Copies of this chain bind each other. A is one copy, B any other.
Amino acid sequence: MAVIDTMPAVARRAGTGAMTDRVREILSCYESDSPGTKTNLARLLTHGYLAGTGKLVILPVDQGFEHGPARSFAVNPPGYDPNYHFEMAIQAGCNAYAAPLGFLEAAAARHAGEVPLILKLNNHDLLYDEKDPISAVTGSVRDALRLGCVAIGFTIYPGSAGARTMYEQLRALAEEAKGHGLAVVVWSYPRGSQLSKEGETAIDVVAYAAHIAAQLGAHVIKVKLPTAHIEQAEAQKAYTKAAVSINTLAERVRHVVQSTFNGRRIVIFSGGALKADDEAVLAGSARSSAATRSSGPESTPSPS
């Protein structure tokens, strides 16, 4: 978590609560949303080390469910304790902490009011794995409200034969969440029997997946850093015809941001092992005037 680690610990919470022109500009992109949803987006954007900058780092910890506890926590046994992740999110000055029902129920009361929470409403495990996965719905909007969350989180797998089911679950949950003043965060991770392994992070596929999440009504969209691979022949033709440059990571980030309503939706990029990746993300998103985005730190566990 390079960027954050270079900051003195004492300064980390300095910005919390600060409304800024940048945040107001971002909120103005959500013009059809209720004041409640805007308020919860503002809570996300005005908390932690990056408060008010228009950038976001969300700490998601669902890998115990997604990959099993041993793979997730054995090398760092304190991670078995739900409080550990709350405290990491708080101390690191993350904008929010996202987890499945159990982890939040176990520690949300103790840490009430200390960090914005996102309840991940679906999860998938590896004891039954499939080429065309569907996550199980594991929480509700009412759960999110009773746990004090600012948003619901939901993962979709565009490319899966089960994508339709997940889109429809998301649709219903998002409508209910918005009706109760919550925000909607979507992890859009392409997977499925018609995609190659490289295709899952191909620039055309990542941009498409981000666009689908935006069309489904997500306020915040998280995708993986896209590679220069192009999966679909028709996309290749379109890039060539329009002379879209996707050679550098910054260009690719810019293309993904453009694909989410020309930067009118918040996009977060996960993955990226190098400091150079962060710089690329920042460079790629610099041209976008209306959306906020940030590289997720390289070491952040990412959902599924």
The chain A residues found within 8 Å of chain B, CB to CB, are 13, 16-19, 23, 27, 29, 31-43, 45-47, 62, 64-65, 67-71, 74-75, 77-78, 80-82, 100-110, 112-114, 117, 123, 125-130, 132, 134-140, 142-143, 145-149, 158-161, 163-164, 167-168, 171-172, 175, 179-181, 190, 192-195, 204-205, 207-209, 211-212, 214-218, 232, 234-235, 237-239, 241-242, 244, 255, 258-259, 261-262, 264-265
Question: How close is A15's CB to chain B, nearest CB, in angstroms?
Answer: 9
How many copies the complex holds: the figure is 5
Residues of B within 8 A of A215 (CB): 62, 64-65, 100-103, 123, 138
Q: Is A148's CB under 8 angstroms from B208's CB?
A: no
List B contacts of A262 (CB < 8 A).
78, 80-82
Q: Beyond A32-B104, A37-B148, A142-B180: 19 further Cβ-contacts under 8 Å?
A: A29-B106, A34-B109, A36-B146, A38-B148, A41-B112, A65-B211, A69-B259, A70-B259, A75-B241, A81-B262, A106-B265, A125-B163, A126-B232, A127-B192, A127-B205, A128-B160, A136-B164, A145-B181, A146-B180
Which residues of B lie under 8 Å from residue A143 when comparing CB positions?
A: 175
Q: Nearest chain B CB to A202's CB is how many angstroms away?
A: 10
Q: How far is the CA of A215 from the CA of B38 in the complex (A)?
A: 22
- Nearest-CB distance from A267 to chain B (Å)? 13
A175, closest chain B residue (CB): B140
Which single member of B82, B128, B147, B265 contacts A181 (CB below 8 Å)?
A: B147
Complex interface: chain B residues within 8 A of A71 (CB): 234-235, 237-238
Contacts A75-B242, A113-B39, A259-B69 given; indicate if A32 touches B106 (C-beta within 8 A): yes
